[in-house]
Structure formats: C-alpha cells, structure tokens
Amino acid sequence: MSTVTTMQRVIVTIPPGLLSQVEDVAAKLNFSRSRLIREALEQYVEAQHRQELRELLKEGYVVNAERDLRICEEFAATDYETVARHVPPYEGGQRP
C-alpha cells in the first residue's frame, strides 16, 4: 500500500512585503516556500482547533459551575475531616 500523499496546487495572492518575509524565513529554515506555507497553515489550523476546544470546555465549565459548587460544598466537611485526620500539625505552619 502506498503512503504517498497527493498534493494539490493552489494559487494564493500575497502582498510583496509578506512574500519577501516568507522567502527570508524559508531560506533561514532551509525550507521551500511551499513547505513553509504548508507548515504555517497546519499550525494555524491546529491552533484554531485548540481554541475551539478551549471554548467548548469553558462553556461546559460555565454550564456546570453551580452543580460543581454544590458538590464541593457537600464534600467540604469530608475534606476537612480527612485533612484533620491525616495531616500532622506543623509548628509555625512549616513542614519539616
């Protein structure tokens, strides 16, 4: 089975100043212009996916905030008891 990736050619319009910067960076990295642009686009798309995930997580945290706070409050006494039983008192608040 072949693992060769088929590439498609696209035409992109880029301002001259940006194209010059792209060519400079590509030369410094010893990349072709196409490779630099391809990798930059891959990174941008991945960053967009991460941002979408962050937004979904944030939305979930907001939606569940009241429930989570209730759970924390319900277990606060248990947490206190656990700490009181298993954490020795340290003088001056310092651990040995």
DSSP for residue 87: S
42-79 pLDDT tens trace: 999 999 999 999 999 999 888 888 898 889 888 887 87
Could you tell me which residue, 82 or 40, shows the higher pLDDT? 40
Mean predicted lDDT score pLDDT of the chain: 87
Query: pTM of whole model > 0.75?
Result: no
Q: What are the start-end ranges of the H helices in the chain?
A: 16-29, 33-86
CB 22 within 8 A of CB 36: yes
CB 23 within 8 A of CB 33: yes
Residue 95's identity, in one-letter code, is R
pLDDT of residue 79: 76
